[in-house]
Every structure is written in structure tokens, then in C-alpha cells.
Amino acid sequence: MLIRLLLGFALAYLLALAGVPVARRMAVRFGIVDAPDGALKRQREPVPYLGGLAVFLAFLLALAMVIEFDREVLGLLLAATIAASLGLIDDFGALTPAAKVLGQTVAVFVLLKAGVAVELVALPWWARLALTVLWLVGMSNAFNLADIMDGLAGGLGVISGTFLLAVAVIDGRWVVAAFTVVLIGALLGFLRFNFPPAAIYLGDCGSLFLGLTLGALAMVMDYTRHNPLGFLAPLFFLALPIADTAYVTVLRLRAGRKVYHGSPDHFPLRLRKRLGGSTTRAVLVSYAAAVALGGAGLALLFVDARTTVWIVAVSGGLVFAALLWLARVPMETP
């Protein structure tokens, strides 16, 4: 199985390295680019989308070579394909926010049919169902919102995926581990072209696929073998996209703006301004925060309930304080 994991990682990485330049040429040829507008989009020249399509295809082709397909895996693949297809259509500017959420709900329904759902036995079935839909649609949109800076969403995906991979190995879930390591390999191949300054973006195709896939992978593993509160670990693994989504939502509502309309409220954008305008430094600091929070989440699998409460309280307090500090940064409203 170790050979399969290494082979899957290498295949996905190499396929992404080969596929991303092709996707970039296609995007330029057909005008699928993110053009600067002087407000939110301040890059010097148009940057192609379709990086997410290359990531998805590298992931899919590598996975087909190394994994045994069962009901759960097929459900994950079909839902990921729906999310990627939905995002690809949106990259052409052909979807309304309502249609996007509807498509995401269909992908969630596929996962539910495959048995992927929140398994908190203390909750009634309808609450587990509602929480599953909220979690998966929320994660899909969280990574979509996080794709606002060179290297950010892809790098956070690698970090989150690495911690989920660690849990899969600890649980002995080798099929899930293969699924995750292939995703990490594809993202690392993409980051070769996306790290600042980016030559290509994920686009909605990649960010929706990434968010839904990581959200689903977080639901198929056991976190409570040693700690009954270990189920909180995925919140730490995916903390930065979750925090940014909550942050943006609160700030936009307070300003009287629609939640789904773009604005410079994202904390990475505020962090970049705090750091003198350096995208690279802002992304690296975000990576470091994601690693620290992910490490705290991994610790939850092995500590007792009392220690868990302390970890949650301290981590939550630090994140809240950081967000308040960044909220003081004046940002131009587009």
C-alpha cells in the first residue's frame, strides 16, 4: 500500500506539472482569464483560470491508477466531479449564486447516498442531515472565498490534506489515504505555477472541487478512538478557510453588503496590508497559522476531554484576537 501511495502522489504531481501549462494556454486562447479591474483584482495583467481543471484531471487520472473503487470512493468521485463541473461552468460566468448553491446541494446528495454523513450519534437524524449539508456546502464555498491570493487556497488545501492524511494513516484507512495523497500531489504540482507571482489561478472549478472534497474526506474518518471530543479536529485542520468565511460574512453584513458580493474584507488581504503589501509574506504567514492550528487539531486525537477544552479555548482566543487586530486595517471599498 505504501508503494501505491507513493505512486499515486508521484503520478498526480507529474500530471499536474504537465497539465497546468496546457490549461493555461487553453484559458488564454478562449479568454477565460481574471482581468484586473482596479478594485478587487489588482494584478498587473490578466491571469488565466482553469488551473482547477488541470488539478482535477491529474487527481482523477492518478486515482484511477492506484485505488480500488468501492461505494464510498465512487460517491466521493461523483460528488467531486459534480463540484468541478459546476465550477467550470461558473468560470465562464454562466451561473448565479443560487444555481451554484443548488448544484452543490446535488453533490452533497450524492455523498449522502454513498453513506458519507456526519456521525454524531447524540444528534437526531434530521440534525445530522442538516449539519452534513451545512458542512459540505460551507466548505465548498469557504475554499471558493479563500481563492483570493496567489498560492493561498492551493497551499491551504495541501496543509489541510496532509493532516487528514495523517488521520487516515492512524486509522488504517488506506483507501482514504490514497485518495488524500493523490489530491495533495495534484495541488503541489499546481502550486509550482500558482505560488506568487501566479501564472494561473484555480478558478471556481478548482476551489469548489477542493472544498467539497476536503470537507467530505474529513467526514469519513474516526477521530474519537481515544478522545470523545476528537470530532472537533477537522475544524482545526480546515480552520483558516472557515475563519475567513465567517469573518467576511460578518464584515459584509455589518457594512450592509450582500454576502456573495466581492469585497476586500478577507483577512489574508488585510494581513498583506499589515505586512507592507507582500503577497508572499502574507501567504507564508497564513501557511504557518494553518500548520499550527492543524497540529493542535491532531493533538485532539490523543488528549483527554479537559485538555481538549483548553486547546479549543486558547486556539479560539488567539484566532479571535488576530482577526480583531486585522479588522483595524483600513481597506478600500470597491
Per-residue confidence (pLDDT) for residue 123, from 0 to 100:
78
Per-residue confidence (pLDDT) for residue 71, from 0 to 100:
79
What does DSSP assign to residue 200?
Answer: S
Percent of the chain with pLDDT over 90: 60
Peptide bond into 197 cis (omega under 30): yes
CB within 8 Å of 246: residues ≥ 6 apart: none
Query: Where along the chain do its domains lie?
Result: 2-327
Which of 30-39, 98-107, 149-158 has the weakest average pLDDT?
A: 30-39
Q: How crowded is the C-beta side of 181, counted as CA atoms within 13 Å? A: 24
Residue range 282-319, pLDDT digits in tens:
999 999 999 999 999 999 999 999 999 999 999 999 99
Residue range 219-236, pLDDT digits in tens:
998 898 899 999 999 999
What value, to the nearest 5°, has the Cα angle with vertex 23 and ends 19 and 26?
140
The reported pTM is 0.93
Report the distance separating Cα 281 and Cα 283, nearest Å: 5
Report the distance separating Cα 259 and Cα 193, nearest Å: 30
Report the distance separating Cα 179 and Cα 46, nearest Å: 33
- Asked if residues 48 and 201 have their Cβ atoms less than 8 Å apart, the reply is yes
Per-residue confidence (pLDDT) for residue 43, from 0 to 100:
63
Residue range 91-150, pLDDT digits in tens:
887 678 888 889 999 999 999 988 888 877 777 888 888 999 999 999 999 998 888 889
- Is residue 244 over pLDDT 70? yes
CB within 8 Å of 90: residues ≥ 6 apart: 100, 204, 205, 208
Q: What is the CA radius of gyration of the chain?
A: 19
Mean pLDDT of the region 314-328: 92
